[in-house]
């Protein structure tokens, strides 16, 4: 595996875009695709597409381009989503409950298999679906991380509690945190942290309204 230090974060972000676009080509029965076609669909130059893939190896076939199913599989392997992995969630408030039953994670290779909260009124609550578990106290986290080989955790607690809970998750063995609290999480360099910015989606819609409606 290459070191992520060497690969610019935006190139990695574009991998997810390439994967979505490749899945769309696949659904439309395209068997091969050129860097130009892939670039055009995403409004990137073909040079940018080739440069991005070059970080990860040599994927094209001379005179053919990229084979769509093969490239999908290879991008998933690079992203680590070619197999399902277990993730946990901390904070079973409204957002946590919504995320536990959110279908989009499983489709992308992630099963929420455990949830934690500090509120005794919530502990013991059954998960709605699709995977059965009961909400556990945070003290159980390290054991569950070990038993279920969990590396990723979703942080869905209120902002004031977020850093302390993140520290507990990391001490318990979680290596990557998806943060929904609107605060910056401090973590060691060996810990991956991503924060969800839902505002960006409204911003994009706002632009479309400004230009399509008048």
Residue list 117-146, contact with a second copy (CB under 8 A):
none
State the minimum distance, in angstroms, from the CB of residue 162 to a second copy.
12
Window 146-165: residues binding a second copy (CB under 8 A): 151-152, 154, 159
13 binds a second copy (CB under 8 A): yes
Window 57-76: residues binding a second copy (CB under 8 A): none
Window 79-108: residues binding a second copy (CB under 8 A): 79-81, 85, 87, 93-95, 97-99, 101-105, 107-108
| 169 and 177 Cβ atoms separated by less than 8 Å | yes
Q: Is 173 left (phi over 0), alpha (psi -120 to 50) or beta?
A: left
Determine which residue in the list 16, 84, 184, 186 makes contact with a second copy, applying CB under 8 A. Answer: 16
Nearer to a second copy, 63 or 202 (CB): 202
CA angle (60, 66, 69) in 5-degree steps: 130
DSSP string over 84-97: -EEEEEE--SHHHH
211 binds a second copy (CB under 8 A): yes
10 binds a second copy (CB under 8 A): yes
According to DSSP, the β-strands at 32-33 and 66-67 are antiparallel
What's the CA gap between 166 and 153, in Å, rounded?
9
């Amino acid at each position: 595996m290459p070191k992520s230090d060497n690969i610019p974060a935006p190139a990695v972000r574009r991998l997810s875009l390439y994967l979505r676009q490749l899945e769309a080509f696949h659904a439309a029965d395209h068997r091969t695709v050129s860097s130009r076609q892939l670039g055009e669909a995403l409004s990137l130059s073909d040079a940018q597409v080739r440069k991005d893939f070059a970080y990860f190896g040599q994927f094209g076939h001379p005179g053919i381009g990229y084979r769509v199913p093969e490239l999908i599989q290879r991008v998933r392997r690079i992203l680590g989503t070619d197999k399902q992995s277990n993730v946990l969630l901390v904070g079973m408030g409204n957002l946590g409950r919504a995320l536990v039953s959110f279908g989009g994670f499983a489709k992308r290779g992630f099963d929420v298999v455990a949830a934690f909260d500090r509120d005794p009124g919530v502990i013991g609550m059954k998960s709605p679906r699709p995977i059965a578990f009961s909400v556990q106290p945070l003290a159980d986290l390290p054991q569950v991380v070990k038993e279920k080989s969990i590396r990723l955790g979703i942080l869905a607690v209120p902002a004031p509690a977020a850093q302390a809970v993140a520290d507990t998750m990391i001490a318990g063995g979680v290596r990557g945190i998806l943060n929904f609290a609107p605060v910056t999480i401090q973590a060691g360099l060996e810990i991956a942290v991503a924060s969800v910015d839902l505002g960006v989606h409204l911003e994009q819609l706002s632009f479309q309204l400004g230009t399509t409606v008048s």
